[in-house]
Structure 1
């Protein structure tokens, strides 16, 4: 029996066995609680007296009203539900596709927008399409989308990972199975900004190196996230120090009314989760989730996930504790902690295979990582129109890598490479928002991040002096401030303007960035938006402290580097064809300048950082490089209704840069096109709430551009030598991958069982990752990406 048959049998066996050991079969409940909070979008003030109705094909079934704190609780049948919210003087909201299960209560946080004209009942229609594109940040009018935990679970191939889920959106290029880096519109993944609860955070992934934004496995547990925002261009003034995009993650509060538990096994690990109230007054809730890697188990079962005989080990903890200290004030403590390690030992590497993370048969490679993120947030409503929040945070990273070379003959071991990077960052963020009127709201804030660091990176030469690339410790600060204003001329026409400022102490760099966007709705179905933004980003910390050996000693030739600059221009057309079908078309142009390049004539540019696993050793850089990205994107999405959904996204783009030699070349991320097709169908089984779901995904991405290897010179030097004058000129074959996910959900009396089988690259297509040089064989070898990879998942909530 082959692997596919084994795992399909595994899934069918669980789905058909209703008398599972963890829960006795019983009639599914007819009702479950849905709770939530409703607040004014601009001032964050709770809205009392909002009517919440549960609908079924337009017929009202159940309902409730928010209390003085804006809180509501209603009991509704299990299954997918629709809710309508109405409030005098405010625009109505309709929230579709809410999954209600027996094992867990649903909590919704809903913002409502005040109408400009006071009527007894405002009849502006908010259908599913508008709700999906309506972000937490009401200042984001273009290139922005919200997402929630259900989307990270639903899509085939997403593996519960927010980054892999976002790869399905227009403007995001996947095509790299090695990491979950986010490549937005041809930009380096290092151009992304990650935020958690308002904190600017380090790489939130296991095995993520300094200055990168990705890794194979996310430390952010999708079971804990709340509705969050993903923005790909011209983002509002509150976001800074990024030129590509923003991932603004929110963690949800725990259930403050009753205790709930979750157990899960899947690709991301063995997981245990708990949430519930603390204390008798139920004004404090907790949410905690711990997981430990399962990949060792997968290897035992004979599943190859591309690391050969090496076993990745990782574990992480996500948590949030929230206390309502008064009717107008709330305190939250939240955080993430993760550990990961992997050893590639040359003696265990199969030299006949070239795997994605397969290791080097002539080396021992050992990596250790640790990351912590902690935040303490205090929110206060100063009045019915004014809201403020102060967040204090601390984050740390640890990365250590050792490499020993192994001789081709015998077992002699020689230490050859070592690096150790540590950072510790203290952060303070304060913001205030004020609603001037139904037409105007303003927001301002300041952020300061103070970072201590230790960097040591060197090539070891036993018996001779080491070749040191960086060896420094110290601290630096990054200060940011912003102010932004939203004005609604009419219900159909709105403008957002703002300024962002930032200052970096390393190089005393200063930037002032104007942001401006307009949105005009022709009617309830069609809208046109335009936006401009100037953005700056500091360089990788490693780049600043790369050292240069001179006759008079060590100098830091990169330390005076300024910010990379980016001008974004975006035009967007939205058409809500029906209540559940939406078309979005977007075109953009991005002009990059002040990119670090070498002072001598070369093809090198920092715009390509993040294209591989290694840090750049380049020194003597200057802000003289340029780049440009432009393209068009189309999204056609049918939101889940009547048992099915689909999502088609197409991105056509070009991404070019110029090094100090003045020659325009493709960037490492210029794949030219991305096409995603996703679809899913649910089938109800019987009358007890059981559901069988089939989800499909097809992705094709233009082939990557690689730098050719000079085979003759490589044979002479015994290592890969690249034709750097032909940088990124060798086009690879297109990336093509098909994923299939089969899922089953069964409802018990007070619990829910979910099982799934996510079959990635089901056709076992060989996608090129990179090319290298085999010194022993004296030939160029091709490294391929992930082969067929079946991933089972079991989740039980109670």
Structure 2
């Protein structure tokens, strides 16, 4: 058999090599590899920095870690390194073997160390990339934009991108291209974050002082990501300075921040520690103490949150580097009445990641990591001698291996595997009395094992065509139930010319864990539940196509993307479902299908004194749940729109530099009203026993009404102060949230209208509740 197969294989390879573009793949050009990393003088990686050899017309942009790889012929070369905000660097070298360089750039003038790439190179890379639906958020942009209470929030900034909807006024939840909130994969240095919100969703858990970069994938998901259906939010923490100790912080209306960073072990490594805390509780407790003993005074609940980020890296040798990241965040809400009733509610995330990076060669890189993620909440009531405690939790132990390989200049291969042990605490209940009249508890727990294997190849066929194909094999087991799926990913880019490109991609995703919620927005009390028994994995597919155009001499990038997404085994709940401490929770689920489609138009500018973007989305989202499991389904099996469906969305962001020390910013948001369910009418009946009249509301189909359209204008000013002996850099940030005081609808309730003479109810009147009026704020930021 071998004698027969070998000639056939040889013939097959010779035929493949004869195909256009395949010869370059089969035979790598004779060249040496120049690789390395681009950093600032403070040790900060500079993603997007360009490393080029102008004489040969060759160049490459550094990745998110500042790393680059470039194939060059043997001989002498002049290497030019550029990065906006930094002095250009020219390095002469003679290449006679593979070589690695550590390139350090010096900041120009008095530019802040946090300057990030925002030049035409970024737009060129987006034009040439096969990825679609990717938004990269710079921390500088996030810090310049006006924010609620002056608290910079990267998730709220992502809501300003097309295709991303919020969960309501003031919330930081994300609903991407018609997907629900639990269908977003949120990662912090590759560790999963289950609840990325503080203050019931008003702020995200990400401290901007500790964040290096944020990437949002709305489609064309790379094969290394899995487990969710709608989007990937990939957040990377900053590495600390390897040169000197630095302190950065800020003092705002509701919170303060402090970050310390510096070198480790003779500049072989670095560390960064960043903390943030609110002080709501300080004022509320002082006010409660001041009014203690005042008749009819109602105490104000106490609330605060804090979070702590830490990261360290250490170079073990020429080819090995070790990284460690950690996050701890807690929210605490408590109420102590003047009577004997007490209420306590606490929730938070804890995670830790250790990653070892080994460089086999400039073209072969291995990353091995281990992570622990823990999310839990506890809710407790105390009334006289009785106590009641409710809680839920999920903990993950994850190990993964990722291999990056550049076999030729035309191919970029990624391969890897990941395994996660999930431990679900679906519900824990404890009730007792101090006199021991009763004491009982209940605890519902499950476990699940998730595995993923992936491989992808980015293939540059020629100057016109670039292809990317990926395959992910995923599986999940909980108890005796096992599930699995094949997840293909494919993308293509065709360049009409150096200013125009066409793109197309397809992705299939599986989701094996589900968020148990009975509201449109993520709440701390929501429960994560595994695929088991009747609860099958969710599945979705998405096709998208688009065109990108560089305009105005490369200063503007205009993109237009259309998408269609459809999914099976979407999850909802029967009316009156018992969601807490239910050992048979799977019996409360209903299953259906969902689909969404739309078009996203996006124009951005990243150079000059005026930068920003404009985005417009026209979109539809639908769901259908047929009669099942003894119910009539939802809306009797007819199609309906989920609460996060928005027909029209428009965002405009402008950042203008009036002078080197003064920036003004503005952001305008408009979206169609959210679908909601309101009573159609009411009927009254007389209780014969009590002679009292009862009024019962009558509800129509789900989400048959829409709230009024949402729109808001935010304004901001950032004034950089002159350096002094204490502070090298400092600024005052002024912002006005909801500048023209738009009363946006938070929710609707019905108030009674009574007859003045008889006191009888004669009508019901809808009342709108608005959350935020015009809110000015000021924050002082410093760095020394």
Per the shorter chain, which TM-score range?
0.7 to 0.9
In the alignment, what sits opposite 2:354? 376
1:284 equivalent to 2:275? Answer no
In the alignment, what sits opposite 1:497? 469
1:153 equivalent to 2:143? Answer yes
Q: Which structure 2 residues correspond to residues 734-749 of structure 1 after superposition, within 5 A?
A: 734-748=709-723
Say if 1:621 and 1:517 are closer, same or farther in 2 by CA, change over 3 A: farther
- For residue 788 of structure 1, report the CA deviation from its aligned partner: 2.0
Say if 1:62 and 1:657 are closer, same or farther in 2 by CA, change over 3 A: closer
- For residue 542 of structure 1, report the CA deviation from its aligned partner: 4.8
Structure with higher RCO (Cα < 8 A, 6+ apart): 1
In the alignment, what sits opposite 2:304? 313
Deviation string 1:197-249 (CA, Å, 9 cap, x unpaired) is 222332233256xxxxxx22222211122233111123121111111110011
Say if 1:514 and 1:373 are closer, same or farther in 2 by CA, change over 3 A: same
CA distance in 1, matches of 2:104, 2:531: 61
1:487 equivalent to 2:513? Answer no
Deviation string 1:579-610 (CA, Å, 9 cap, x unpaired) is 22121111100111122356xxx78999xx9x
- Selected match of 1:681 from 651, 656, 662: 656
- Selected match of 2:611 from 631, 635, 645: 645
- For residue 662 of structure 1, report the CA deviation from its aligned partner: 2.1
Say if 1:767 and 1:237 are closer, same or farther in 2 by CA, change over 3 A: same
Structure number with greater Rg is: 2
- For residue 61 of structure 1, report the CA deviation from its aligned partner: 6.8
- For residue 623 of structure 1, report the CA deviation from its aligned partner: 6.9
Say if 1:716 and 1:740 are closer, same or farther in 2 by CA, change over 3 A: farther
In the alignment, what sits opposite 2:663? 693
Aligned partner of residue 70 in structure 1, secondary structure: strand
Deviation string 1:57-101 (CA, Å, 9 cap, x unpaired) is xxx97534399643222334336xxxxxxxxxxxxxxxxxxxx22
CA distance in 1, matches of 2:286, 2:109: 36
Aligned partner of residue 127 in structure 1, secondary structure: helix
Say if 1:448 and 1:558 are closer, same or farther in 2 by CA, change over 3 A: closer
CA distance in 2, matches of 1:461, 1:721: 35
Say if 1:379 and 1:471 are closer, same or farther in 2 by CA, change over 3 A: same
TM-score by length of 1: 0.74
Q: Which structure 2 residues correspond to residues 77-156 of structure 1 after superposition, within 5 A?
A: 77-78=108-109, 100-101=111-112, 104=113, 127-131=121-125, 141-156=131-146
CA distance in 2, matches of 1:633, 1:106: 29
Say if 1:521 and 1:192 are closer, same or farther in 2 by CA, change over 3 A: same
CA distance in 1, matches of 2:617, 2:585: 32
Query: Where in structure 1 are there 5+ consecutive unaligned residues?
Result: 1-30, 80-99, 111-124, 209-214, 349-361, 405-411, 545-555
Deviation string 1:130-183 (CA, Å, 9 cap, x unpaired) is 35678xxx7x61101222211221222374211011011110113623420011
Q: Any conservation in 1 of the 2:681–2:699 contact (CA below 8 Å)?
A: no
Q: Which structure 2 residues correspond to residues 720-759 of structure 1 after superposition, within 5 A?
A: 726-748=701-723, 751-759=728-736
Say if 1:519 and 1:295 are closer, same or farther in 2 by CA, change over 3 A: farther
Q: Any conservation in 1 of the 2:494–2:503 contact (CA below 8 Å)?
A: yes
- Selected match of 2:563 from 572, 580, 588: 588
In the alignment, what sits opposite 1:658? 624
CA distance in 2, matches of 1:201, 1:449: 14
In the alignment, what sits opposite 1:17? none
- For residue 454 of structure 1, report the CA deviation from its aligned partner: 2.4
In the alignment, what sits opposite 1:325? 316
Say if 1:543 and 1:297 are closer, same or farther in 2 by CA, change over 3 A: closer
Q: Give the aligned length.
A: 666
- For residue 697 of structure 1, report the CA deviation from its aligned partner: 1.2
TM-score by length of 2: 0.76
Say if 1:714 and 1:582 are closer, same or farther in 2 by CA, change over 3 A: farther
In the alignment, what sits opposite 1:71? 102
In the alignment, what sits opposite 1:428? 399
- For residue 774 of structure 1, report the CA deviation from its aligned partner: 7.2
Q: Any conservation in 1 of the 2:531–2:537 contact (CA below 8 Å)?
A: no
Say if 1:33 and 1:743 are closer, same or farther in 2 by CA, change over 3 A: same
CA distance in 2, matches of 1:649, 1:164: 15
Q: Any conservation in 1 of the 2:87–2:105 contact (CA below 8 Å)?
A: no
- For residue 710 of structure 1, report the CA deviation from its aligned partner: 6.3
Q: Any conservation in 2 of the 1:231–1:247 contact (CA below 8 Å)?
A: yes
